[in-house]
């Protein structure tokens, strides 16, 4: 496709390739009738897919076109010879209300739910020519409607159907306007949005067209009185004159159907078109809905235009020659975009936008008369009626060429709206862009070009040659927005170019502001500052939206080369490259900005990477931030903490490394040995000699009965830095009390050693050993023996004889004679206690001998019939044993039971003695000894009852049925 650069729009010859169908726009098709024609048609109307036909016999046929087989046949109350032939039918857009007018001035009303027309008595004698239905399209009643009569009167009437036969259908009838000496051939009423109380009325006569708009009256309830009287009384109509006098040619007013769904030309509401047929031709225009009411009529008529009769192609004679005279127009209606006229049996369709004839078809045969053209404004269908036939004017894609016409007229927005295919939209966009470039409107052209397929390099070079970087930037932005996601490289190139353009623009504006210059005569420094803010916002929006189409490294290089710090950091933030932002601020030693970035991050790797430098320069703030994080591994922060501790010369209570480690241990319950060892390392290596903090930590670990640090590591550190109390505590926690005491005594920490010596409470021997070591130290370094002995009295295990070897050779016994005397007295009391225990033991032994002797004289009484406890046979039948508890057993039964209950060794021993006694392998004294030992083993005690306590009452050998419940 080629474009005409001189005209600024697409050449007409090139538009022919963009049509989307080869079918004609209009085609007249004869409708097959579902009923028999018994008389001629005299009138017809179509609305909401309902067809009403009046016959010359006075019958009325109502046909639902959705189910044409169902036909309602309705008769007028009187015969045609009484009321006249039906001359006109008026059907409202909803097909709910029908008004019938006869040749003798009789008028009838028929509701859609009724089959009996009722006479409108108040309208008797009125020749109705046209009706303007209420804009609200009522169904229960007609509400307020206007009727135009042949005598020039305009009536307002409210018709409400009533089931009562003698009740009038008209609630009221009022004459609201009078056209002098002319018939009213057309009426139209609509509302002016968004004001529901404002109406517009268009009145047509054969010689003039009137437009009146204003507020209507209000009443307490509907049907109580006229609402249009106020409008006609308070407003004067705007008149569009026509022919000087009526020529008798048909005259009518037609309004285009309701706009198709989805098309709304104006935000205030859809605008419909009107057409007024007169002897001059057809005056047509838009029924505008916006503007001042007092000027609305003048504006409507000023923008209307006349399609003269001479524009209609003349018909041809039988020889094919065109007639010299113009055929009269019989009827006229409007479609969405065309004027349909019935001219002597021909249907002529003319486009309202450019007055081109798009259809000219002979429909009627010679001598065939037509009733006229009828449109269904609701369903957007069109019909032609003759006295015998019905034709439907089929419309196929009526608006297919509208975009071309509007494009030729340089109405680019409207053309784009009506373009359907991508090729059509592209043609409109390209032509619109060329036109805007010629007018110097580069920014507007950039947006339009962006939606077209015009070669990219041509458009880009056009804006570059014109020196308009703003237009180029806008064009690239539009192309990038519309480009497919799959075009990765193209999108990246466009986005990168846009970054360069944004940087150039920002630098240019900054230079202008810094030099206090003006970009142009019409832009002040303040306006330049506002533009700078706007461009910066546009850049930020661009980065946010198209960050996925940019290469980070390339963008960093471009923005850095222009020295745009704010824009550089914004991009890094948008792409979540916080590492770059942090590195940027850290390199410039901007610690506050660095921490502001860091506190917004949750990626732990960033903390590990920059913790060392930030701990060295902003330790307090960094620790505050790290303490708010929950996903940090304290072990990975140890190098930074140790480096800080090495260089920071602060007190322990201000040491931020210790603060963070204690937080991890106390709040996060860290169990990592590395964390605990690091804490100990910092405590132990501190320059202060006060080790209370370290000792507090170690005691807390012991109190919690856990040791999360490496004891050997902690011990080496404490020994290296001479942390005696801590070393002693660690030795004690490892139960190495001897080493703990030795270390404490080595550094003359006697009290500390004494406290350790008391710890092994469950091991008196070790405790005494430890106290002896303490005693040796105390005695050797004490200024007085008496003082040392008083100190050593703290351990009750020490005796004076234990301490004597530690006294120096030259000590005088007088220094501790009291202690020696006390020790001797204690020994004396101990000896007396031992003697008393010996006497008591002798008495006890004598008692035991007496009891043993009495055992030989014990006896038991066996009652007659006594049975063995095991086999339940008479006890006296064979050898038996009787126990003091009155249990009695046969000797062999008892032996078996004892073997069953006894252990392996005892059982084996009993069997050996039984074999020896039974077989007689031993005799004399040896046999008697074996018998005694066997009796001792078998009948040593009656333990059977005790051992059988956990056995069940019913054994497996017993009969289970005897114990069943």
What are 758-775's pLDDT values in tens digits? 677 667 777 767 767 776
Helix axes 656-666, 619-626, angle to 10 degrees: 10
Note whether residue 50 is domain-resident.
yes
Quick count: other Cβ atoms within 10 Å of Cβ 132? Answer: 26
Secondary structure element (H or E) that encloses residue 661, with its range: helix 656-666
Note whether residue 38 is domain-resident.
yes
Note whether residue 938 is domain-resident.
yes
Please report how many Cα atoms fall inside a 13 Å half-sphere around the Cα of residue 230, on the Cβ side: 12
Average pLDDT over residues 38-51: 91
Q: What is the pLDDT of residues 833-844, one digit of tens each?
A: 788 888 888 888
Contact 109, 169 (CB under 8 A): yes
Quick count: other Cβ atoms within 10 Å of Cβ 40? Answer: 15
pLDDT-derived band at 778, boundaries 50, 70, 90: low
- Taking phi over 0 as left and psi of -120 to 50 as alpha, with beta for the rest, 30 belongs to beta
Based on its alpha-carbon atoms, the radius of gyration of the chain, rounded to whole angstroms, reads 61
Q: What is the pLDDT of residues 24-35, one digit of tens each?
A: 888 999 888 877
pLDDT-derived band at 120, boundaries 50, 70, 90: very high
| CATH at residue 38 | 2.130.10.10
Domain count across the chain? 2
Residue 821 burial (C-beta neighbours within 10 Å; 0-12, 13-18, 19+): exposed
Last residue of a domain, one of 353, 376, 394: 394
Q: What φ, ψ does residue 62 adopt, rounded to 5°?
A: -115, 120
Question: DSSP code of 506?
Answer: H
Strand pairing of 186-192 and 195-204?
antiparallel
Note whether residue 219 is domain-resident.
no
As beta bridge partners, residue 882 has: 888
Contact 348, 360 (CB under 8 A): yes
Written in H, E and C, the secondary structure of 557-581 is HHHHHCCCHHHHHHHHHHCCCHHHH
Return the percentage of the chain with pLDDT > 70, whole number.
Answer: 84
Q: What φ, ψ does residue 273 adopt, rounded to 5°?
A: -110, 155
Nearest in space to 627 (alpha carbons), one of 652, 586, 657, 653: 657
Q: Return the exposure string of 559-592: e unless at least 16 CB atoms fall within 10 Å of the residue's CB, then b.
A: beebebeebbbbbbbbbebbbbbbbbbbeeeebe
pLDDT of residue 44: 94
Note whether residue 344 is domain-resident.
no
Nearest in space to 455 (alpha carbons), one of 809, 112, 3: 3
Note whether residue 5 is domain-resident.
no
Secondary structure element (H or E) that encloses residue 394, with its range: strand 390-395
Written in H, E and C, the secondary structure of 20-43 is CCCCCCEEEEECCCCCCCCCCEEE
Contact 8, 438 (CB under 8 A): yes
- What is the value of pTM for the model shown? 0.58
Q: How far apart are CA 623 and CA 189, in angstroms?
A: 79
- Taking phi over 0 as left and psi of -120 to 50 as alpha, with beta for the rest, 869 belongs to alpha
pLDDT of residue 320: 58
pLDDT of residue 22: 60
- Whole-number average pLDDT of the chain: 82
Note whether residue 372 is domain-resident.
yes
Residue 801 has pLDDT above 60, yes or no: no
Note whether residue 681 is domain-resident.
no
- What is the domain range of residue 915? 875-956
């Amino acid at each position: 496709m080629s474009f005409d650069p001189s005209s600024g729009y697409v050449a007409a010859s090139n538009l022919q390739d963009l049509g989307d169908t080869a079918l004609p726009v209009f085609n007249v098709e004869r409708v097959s009738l579902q009923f028999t024609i018994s008389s001629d048609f005299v009138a017809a109307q179509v609305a909401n897919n309902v067809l009403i036909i009046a016959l010359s016999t006075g019958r009325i046929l109502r046909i639902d076109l959705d189910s044409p087989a169902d036909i309602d046949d309705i008769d007028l109350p009187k015969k045609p010879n009484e009321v006249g032939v039906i001359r006109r039918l008026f059907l409202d857009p909803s097909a709910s209300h029908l008004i019938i007018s006869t040749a003798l001035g009789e008028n009838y009303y028929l509701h859609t739910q009724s089959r009996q027309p009722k006479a409108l008595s108040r309208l008797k004698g009125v020749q109705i020519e046209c009706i303007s239905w209420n804009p609200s399209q009522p169904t229960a009643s007609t509400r307020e409607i206007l009727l135009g009569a042949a005598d020039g009167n305009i009536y307002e009437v409210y018709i409400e159907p009533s089931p009562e036969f003698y009740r009038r259908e008209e609630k009221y009838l009022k004459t609201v306007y009078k056209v002098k000496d002319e018939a009213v051939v057309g009426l139209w009423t609509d509302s002016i949005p968004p004001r529901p109380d404002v109406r517009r009325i268009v009145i047509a006569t054969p010689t003039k067209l009137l437009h009146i708009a204003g507020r209507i009256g209000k009443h307490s309830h509907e049907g109580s009185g006229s609402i249009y009287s106020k409008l006609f009384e308070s407003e004067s109509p705007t008149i569009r004159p026509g022919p000087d006098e009526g020529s008798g040619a048909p005259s009518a007013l037609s309004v285009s159907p309701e706009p198709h769904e989805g098309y709304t030309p104006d935000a205030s509401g859809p605008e419909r078109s009107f057409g007024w047929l007169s002897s001059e031709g057809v005056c047509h225009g838009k029924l505008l809905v916006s503007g001042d009411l007092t000027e609305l009529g003048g504006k409507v008529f000023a923008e209307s235009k006349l399609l003269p009769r001479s524009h209609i192609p003349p018909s041809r004679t039988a020889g094919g020659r065109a007639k010299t005279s113009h055929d009269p127009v019989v009827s006229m209606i409007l479609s969405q975009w065309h004027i349909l006229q019935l001219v002597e049996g021909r249907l002529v369709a003319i486009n309202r936008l450019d007055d081109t004839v798009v259809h000219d078809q002979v429909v009627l045969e010679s001598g065939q008369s037509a009733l006229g053209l009828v449109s269904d404004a609701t369903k957007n269908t069109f019909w032609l009626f003759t006295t015998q036939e019905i034709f439907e004017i089929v419309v196929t894609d009526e608006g297919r060429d509208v975009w071309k016409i509007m494009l030729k007229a340089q109405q680019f927005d409207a053309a784009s709206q009506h373009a359907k295919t991508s090729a059509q939209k592209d043609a409109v966009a390209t032509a619109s862009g060329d036109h805007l470039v010629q007018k110097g409107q580069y920014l507007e052209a950039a947006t339009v070009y962006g939606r077209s397929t015009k070669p990219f390099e041509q458009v880009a070079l056009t804006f570059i040659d014109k020196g308009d970087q703003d237009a180029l930037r806008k064009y690239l932005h539009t192309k990038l927005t519309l480009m497919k996601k799959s075009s990765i490289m193209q999108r990246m190139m466009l986005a990168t170019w846009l970054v360069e353009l944004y940087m150039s623009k920002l630098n240019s504006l900054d230079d202008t502001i810094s030099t206090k210059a003006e970009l142009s005569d019409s832009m002040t420094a303040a306006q330049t500052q506002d533009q700078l803010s706007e461009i910066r916002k546009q850049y930020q929006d661009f980065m946010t939206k198209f960050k996925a189409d940019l290469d980070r490294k390339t963008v960093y290089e471009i923005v850095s080369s222009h020295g745009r710090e704010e824009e550089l950091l914004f991009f890094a933030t948008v792409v979540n490259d916080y590492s770059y932002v942090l590195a940027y601020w850290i390199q410039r030693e901007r610690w506050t900005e660095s921490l502001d970035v860091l506190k917004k991050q949750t990626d732990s790797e960033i903390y590990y990477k920059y913790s060392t430098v930030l701990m060295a320069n902003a330790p307090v703030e960094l620790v505050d931030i790290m303490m708010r994080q929950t996903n940090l591994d304290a072990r990975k922060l140890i190098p930074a903490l140790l480096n800080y501790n090495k260089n920071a010369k602060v007190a322990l209570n201000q040491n931020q490394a210790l603060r963070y480690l204690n937080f991890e241990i106390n709040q996060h319950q860290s169990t990592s040995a590395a964390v605990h060892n690091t804490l100990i390392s910092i405590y132990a290596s501190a320059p202060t000699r006060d080790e209370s903090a370290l000792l507090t930590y170690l005691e807390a670990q012991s109190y919690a009965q856990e040791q999360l640090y490496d004891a050997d590591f902690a011990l080496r550190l404490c020994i290296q830095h001479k942390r005696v109390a801590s070393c002693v505590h660690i030795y004690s926690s490892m139960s190495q009390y001897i080493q703990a005491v030795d270390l404490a005594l080595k550094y003359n920490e006697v009290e500390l050693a004494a406290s350790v010596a008391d710890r092994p409470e469950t091991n008196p021997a070790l405790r005494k050993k430890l106290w002896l070591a303490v005693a040796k130290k105390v005695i050797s370094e004490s200024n007085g023996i008496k003082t040392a002995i008083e100190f050593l009295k703290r351990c009750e295990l020490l005796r004076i004889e234990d301490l004597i070897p530690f006294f120096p050779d030259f000590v005088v016994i007088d220094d501790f004679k009291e202690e020696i005397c006390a020790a001797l007295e204690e020994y004396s009391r101990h000896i007396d206690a031992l003697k008393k225990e010996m006497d008591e033991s002798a008495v006890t032994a004598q008692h035991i001998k007496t009891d043993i002797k009495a055992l030989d004289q014990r006896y038991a009484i066996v009652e007659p019939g006594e049975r063995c406890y095991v086999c339940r046979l008479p006890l006296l039948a064979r050898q038996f044993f009787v126990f003091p508890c009155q249990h009695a057993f046969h000797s062999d039964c008892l032996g078996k039971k004892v073997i069953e209950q006894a252990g392996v060794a005892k059982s084996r021993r009993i069997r050996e003695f039984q074999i020896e006694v039974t077989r007689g392998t031993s005799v004399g004294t040896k046999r008697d000894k074996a018998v005694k030992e066997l009796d001792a083993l078998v009948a040593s005690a009656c333990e059977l009852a005790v051992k059988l306590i956990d056995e069940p009452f019913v054994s497996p050998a017993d009969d289970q049925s005897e114990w069943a419940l």
